[in-house]
């Protein structure tokens, strides 16, 4: 057990002095380390320093020096998310918020503010809202969506394949998830550069983020109104038709939740996988040599570079203990995905292969585990596979050390991934793949190939004409059987599997 530290909230205010056993760094009140500002430019290194100082649960400060715990241990994170009797996602019980320490304009307020959606709800209300979301997702045609992912990938590649160079973040990873999610939600006409730019602007929290949020919400509200009047077979219509009977406001808010979570997570995932392929020769060799599949590469990336670094936040419903620390009722805790994935107790060797191991924290766990993780995996699997098949000679067009990330507490987003390749011609994506793979069926009594044209025969001498005899009826002759041709060779099982996986 590590030495017990004072609670971050309540009567034992850590700002009055450093927690017992914690060396004072002078970084913030009480010697606590800040997760923002110049001291937090390298959060990965900071998390490891906190792990060495405090163990699997460490006290930290958010913007404006608001106290918080960050959970660094894999087991401790899993215990927190799987213990709804002890921890919840309802920020309305967070002590610093109740005491006025968190101002309305706090930079992290969009992550903290409570909303009547399944991500924050508890008990019966959570079951009602979560049941509607998972029920609507269960109706998605995953095979059809894989075809759509493949066609969307080809459309995006067509836009730059003739140039021989591209930015696979700005021209691919940030666009493919939005195109697919607009199709799933039932608003493919809303997918365009403006929608992508507005979403990215909103996630960055820039000066125009409020206007961008209004643009995205406007599109979702129009979709809700349209599907209420004219239901279809898309996710939105299924969400409305669920027995939970969501109101239009609840439908719109959950559409926003699904779109934002799926978009940001999948865009980061695609960029991270492509970066690993382009910068790690062993990784690329394993893919080309068949020792690794794209889905296995995706899982490895989810361990090493999860799309979200942390999730805001969980809150203690009662006094408890976690990772040897005394947690008071009303304390807030960050779900530490990135530091938990590299916990030395579960990954003593970070270079070890994690293929096939899905015990990472990338999609959470417990009642609030991400319900759309299979969609994110599908977009990344099919999209990356189709792009590498289309551009097999793609290579990084800059030094690896020149790559940069836009980092926050919540996520680490690759800014750009410049690549170069031999120019390729565009492909026709209007014809759906696989339409003419099966030949037209013939009658069961005619199973041969088309008869060949008979070779010309030499002319025979004609006999002298004789008087024609009266014609006699001839009995019908049975059709002469033709020699059956060799049956058309069927694609191998491996080729049929690859076609199915790519959505063909």
pLDDT tens string 19-56: 433 333 445 677 899 999 888 889 999 999 999 999 99
Q: What is the pLDDT of residues 302-337, one digit of tens each?
A: 999 999 999 999 999 999 999 999 999 999 999 999
Strand, coil or helix: what is 206? coil
**How many C-beta atoms surround the C-beta of residue 499 within 10 A?**
14
Adjacent-strand bridge partners of 166:
419
How far is Cα 173 from Cα 165, in angstroms, rounded to an integer? Answer: 15
Predicted pLDDT at 228: 95
Among 64-68, 190-194, 480-484, the range scoring the smallest mean pLDDT is 480-484
Predicted pLDDT at 270: 97
Band (pLDDT 50/70/90 cuts) for residue 441 is very low
Band (pLDDT 50/70/90 cuts) for residue 7 is very low
Predicted pLDDT at 162: 96
What percent of the chain clears pLDDT 90, i.e. is strictly above it?
A: 64
Exposure of 326 in the CB half-sphere (CA atoms within 13 A): 13
Predicted pLDDT at 299: 93
Measured in whole angstroms, the distance separating CA 58 from the mean position of its chain's CA atoms is 29
Given a cut of 60, is residue 459 above it in pLDDT?
no
In the chain the first and final C-alpha atoms are separated, in Å, by 55
- 262, 377 Cβ separation under 8 angstroms: no
For 305-354, where are the alpha helices, taking DSSP H only?
A: 337-341
Adjacent-strand bridge partners of 58:
70
Give the phi and the psi of residue 199 in degrees, each rounded to 5: -65, -45
Given a cut of 90, is residue 384 above it in pLDDT?
yes
Given a cut of 90, is residue 495 above it in pLDDT?
no
What percent of the chain clears pLDDT 70, i.e. is strictly above it?
A: 79
- Rounded to an integer, the average pLDDT of 143-148 is 94
Predicted pLDDT at 333: 98
Q: Show Cβ contacts of residue 290 under 8 Å, excluding neighbours closer than 6 positions.
A: none
How far is Cα 443 from Cα 493, in angstroms, rounded to an integer? Answer: 27
Given a cut of 90, is residue 447 above it in pLDDT?
no
Adjacent-strand bridge partners of 396:
419
Higher pLDDT, 287 or 47: 47
Angle (CA) 220-262-218 rounded to 5° is: 15
Q: What is the pLDDT of residues 158-174, one digit of tens each?
A: 999 999 999 999 999 99
- Rounded to an integer, the average pLDDT of 467-481 is 48
Given a cut of 60, is residue 107 above it in pLDDT?
yes
Determine which helix (DSSP H) or strand (DSSP E) holds 386, and give its type and residue range: helix 373-390
- 384, 151 Cβ separation under 8 angstroms: no
Exposure class string for 456-487: b at 16+ Cβ within 10 A, else e: eeeeeeeeeeeeeeeeeeeeeeeeeeeeeeee
Q: What is the pLDDT of residues 188-236, one digit of tens each?
A: 999 999 999 998 888 776 677 788 889 999 999 999 999 999 999 999 9
How far is Cα 471 from Cα 179, in angstroms, rounded to an integer? Answer: 75
Predicted pLDDT at 494: 64
- Rounded to an integer, the average pLDDT of 124-131 is 96
For 280-364, where are the alpha helices, taking DSSP H only?
A: 281-289, 294-304, 337-341
- 166, 160 Cβ separation under 8 angstroms: yes
Average pLDDT of the residues of the chain = 84
Band (pLDDT 50/70/90 cuts) for residue 491 is low
Determine which helix (DSSP H) or strand (DSSP E) holds 333, and give its type and residue range: strand 332-336
What DSSP state is assigned to residue 427? -
Among 67-76, 121-130, 283-292, 486-495, the range scoring the smallest mean pLDDT is 486-495
What is the residue whose two structure tokens read 């005619």? 446
- Rounded to an integer, the average pLDDT of 358-370 is 94
Band (pLDDT 50/70/90 cuts) for residue 407 is confident
- 277, 297 Cβ separation under 8 angstroms: yes
């Amino acid at each position: 057990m590590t030495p017990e530290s004072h609670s971050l909230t309540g009567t034992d205010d850590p700002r009055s002095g450093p927690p017992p056993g914690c060396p004072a760094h002078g970084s913030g009140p009480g010697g606590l380390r800040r997760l923002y500002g110049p001291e937090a430019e390298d959060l990965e290194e900071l998390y490891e320093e906190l792990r060495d100082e405090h163990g699997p649960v460490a006290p930290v400060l958010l913007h404006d020096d608001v106290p918080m715990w960050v959970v660094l241990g894999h087991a401790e994170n899993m215990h927190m998310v799987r213990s709804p009797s002890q921890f919840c996602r309802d920020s309305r019980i967070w002590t610093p918020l109740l005491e006025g320490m968190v101002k309305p304009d706090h930079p992290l307020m969009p992550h903290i503010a409570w909303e009547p959606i399944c991500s924050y709800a508890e008990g019966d209300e959570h079951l009602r809202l979560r049941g509607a979301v998972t029920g609507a997702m269960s109706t998605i045609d995953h095979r059809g969506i894989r075809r759509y992912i493949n066609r969307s990938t080809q459309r995006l590649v067509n836009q730059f394949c003739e140039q021989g160079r591209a930015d696979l973040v700005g021209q691919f990873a940030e666009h493919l998830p939005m195109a697919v999610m607009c199709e799933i939600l039932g608003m493919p006409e809303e997918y365009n550069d403006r929608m992508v730019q507005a979403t990215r602007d909103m996630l960055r929290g820039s000066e125009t983020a409020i206007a961008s949020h209004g643009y995205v919400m406007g599109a979702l509200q129009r979709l809700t109104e349209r599907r209420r009047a004219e239901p279809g077979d898309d996710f939105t219509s299924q969400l409305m038709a669920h027995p939970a009977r969501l109101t239009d406001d609840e439908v719109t808010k959950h559409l926003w939740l699904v779109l934002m979570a799926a978009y940001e997570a999948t865009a980061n995932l695609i960029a991270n996988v492509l970066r690993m392929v382009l910068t790690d020769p062993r990784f690329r060799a394993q893919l080309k040599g068949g020792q690794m599949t794209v889905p296995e590469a995706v899982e490895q990336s989810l361990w090493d570079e999860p799309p979200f670094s942390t999730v805001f936040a969980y809150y203690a419903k009662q006094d408890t203990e976690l990772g040897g620390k005394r947690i008071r009722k009303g304390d807030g805790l960050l779900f530490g995905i990135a530091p938990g994935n590299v916990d030395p107790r579960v990954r003593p060797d970070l270079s070890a292969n994690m293929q096939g191991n899905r015990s990472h924290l990338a999609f959470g766990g417990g009642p609030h585990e991400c319900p759309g993780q299979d969609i994110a995996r599908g977009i990344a699997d099919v999209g990356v596979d189709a792009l590498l098949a289309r551009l097999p000679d793609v290579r990084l067009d800059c030094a690896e050390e020149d790559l940069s990330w836009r980092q926050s507490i919540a996520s680490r987003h690759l800014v750009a991934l410049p690549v170069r390749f031999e120019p390729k011609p565009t492909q026709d994506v209007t014809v759906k793949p696989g339409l003419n793979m099966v030949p037209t069926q013939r009658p069961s009594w005619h199973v041969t190939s088309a008869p060949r044209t008979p070779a010309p025969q030499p002319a025979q001498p004609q006999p002298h004409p004789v008087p024609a005899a009266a014609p006699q009826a001839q009995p019908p002759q049975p059709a002469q059987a033709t020699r059956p041709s060799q049956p058309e060779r069927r694609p191998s099982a491996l080729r049929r599997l690859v076609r199915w996986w790519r959505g063909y």
